[in-house]
Amino acid sequence: MGMAKNKKLCFKCDEEKITYNCEGCAKKFCLMDLNEHRQVLTSELHQITNEYNEFKQRINEQKRNPHNHSLINQINQWEIESIEIIHQKAQEYREILIKSSETCINDIEMKFKNLNEQIKQIHQENEFNEIDLNYLRNQLIEITEELNNPLKIPIKEDLQSFIDAIPIISSKKSKVNKWKQNAITVAGGNGIGQALYQLTWSKGIFIDKNKNVFIADIGNHRIVTWKHNAKEGQIIAGGNKQGYRMDQLNFPTDVIVDQQSHAIIIADQGNRRVIQWLNQTQKIVIKNIDCHGLAMDKHGFLYVSDHNKNVVRRWKMGKYNNKGIVVAGGNGRGNQLNQLNGPTFIFVDKDQSIYVSDRNNDRVIKWRKDAKEGRIVAGGNGKGANLNQLSSPQGVIVDDFGQIYVAEYSNHRIMRWCEGKEEGEIVVGGNGEGNQSNQLNRPHGLSFDDEGNLYVADWLNYRIQKFEILL
């Protein structure tokens, strides 16, 4: 009777028997079913042990053969596909380089022919000095360097994008600079007047390496310079009332500084002359010219735009007693590619190409050295405010990447054009006529400093604005 009281239902056979608890699952089994349950557990232990041994074997195998990995196969496939992409890209850029090289060699050959013609001319005229010889020698050195390294193209070493594409990065790849839209006034800005802290209709400007601003203060018949962060300017030429004496100026429109001699060269438009000031000593270098814009190339040649004769001429440094060489226009007033109509400001690049603000044709036209006609590089689609138009262009400058910047007198904005593009873009201004820091009023002269900050002669606001570059 006592034994029966100890009987319980077996979890497995569901019969009333003497049962025993399993501590693992807390269930009751009769002796027979308990043994079977233990065998199941033993079997599971053996399975786990086998799995453990297999895992240990895989670890040992991986240690012995680290390349035998599932991801390795994916990497191997990636390698095969990437090599094929590299082959394709390499062939693509070989073709590009061959074409670029041909173009570059042709340009070098043209420069050599031009230099050869100059040498022949010097031999024929039998009139030369050390300046001429230095010029010829420097020209030959330049084209020799171009021939030795005609393209100057490095390979971009960007590991993340290297396989997707191996881009060939030219040293002339355009950099798209941007400027703060609110300018700082660096000269004038105190209303119209003749005090040293005022300007009257500033036109051409020049920025030296110290960020000093040279200004053609046309309404005050003087050239003033504002040193960096100065509160007022200093008269460096003219300022003795309007007149035609050597110490006077008459509506000066532009000013440049010869970086070698430090002479100040002025377009004295009202007196129809280009005059040089050096240490308060004046010298007329060109007479009887309706001068407007000035430029000087790296060889010291002086370029002057004549807004009445619709021509740009070049003079050799120190030899101003002739009529100069026509380098743009000179075929009467008109809108053909070999003509100009009211040229104002000019810019000369390192290849001696001339960019001319052709005001009355509402365009900027580029004349390559010794070209017979120009090429429109900005505007030329009639007067207007659309992005493919200009309206009375004034100041023009070109950056190291060949991008052209134009001051639009009538649209109160500064435009940037890339040669070959159908339209330009507004870089500063363009917010209507006004005197706020983000506005301009009839802008004229333009210049960069060596940091890339943009300076604008803000004509009817009687100030010079500096738009700081965003780095």
Residues of the chain with CATH 2.120.10.30: 178-470
Q: Rounded distance, CA 71 to CA 159, Å?
A: 20
pLDDT above 90 for 110: no
The residue-averaged pLDDT of 421-438 equals: 96
- Give the pLDDT confidence score for residue 175 in this predicted structure: 65
Q: What is the DSSP string of 246-270?
A: TT-BSSEEEEEE-TTT--EEEEEGG
Which has the closest alpha carbon to 394: 409, 379, 404, 412?
409
Average pLDDT over the chain reads 87
Q: Where are the beta strands (DSSP E) in 262-362?
A: 264-268, 273-278, 281-287, 291-296, 302-306, 311-315, 325-329, 343-348, 354-358
Kindly report the CATH number that applies to the domain delimited by 178-470: 2.120.10.30
Which has the closest alpha carbon to 379: 368, 367, 366, 370?
366
φ/ψ of 334, rounded to 5, equals: 175, -175
pLDDT above 80 for 391: yes
- Give the pLDDT confidence score for residue 151 in this predicted structure: 58
CB 312 within 8 A of CB 318: no
Q: In this predicted model, what pLDDT tens digit does every residue of 170-209 receive, in sequence order?
A: 444 456 789 999 999 999 999 999 999 999 999 999 999 9
Burial 312-322 (b: 16+ CB within 10 A, else e): bbbbbbeebee
Q: Is the pTM of this model over 0.95?
A: no
The percent of residues in the chain predicted with pLDDT above 90, rounded, is 56
Torsion of CA 190, 192, 198, 201, to 10 degrees: 120
**Which range, 15-19, 104-108, 234-238, 275-279, is most confident?**
234-238
CB atoms within 10 A of CB 16: 12
- Give the pLDDT confidence score for residue 436 in this predicted structure: 97
Q: In this predicted model, what pLDDT tens digit does every residue of 111-128 receive, in sequence order?
A: 788 778 778 877 777 777
Q: Rounded distance, CA 346 to CA 348, Å?
A: 7
Q: In this predicted model, what pLDDT tens digit does every residue of 82-108 receive, in sequence order?
A: 787 788 777 877 877 777 777 778 777
- Token readout for 181 is 């839209």
pLDDT above 50 for 292: yes
Q: Name the band, by pLDDT with cuts 50, 70 and 90, for residue 58.
A: confident
Q: Rounded distance, CA 267 to CA 182, Å?
A: 31
CB 286 within 8 A of CB 274: yes
- Give the pLDDT confidence score for residue 69 in this predicted structure: 63
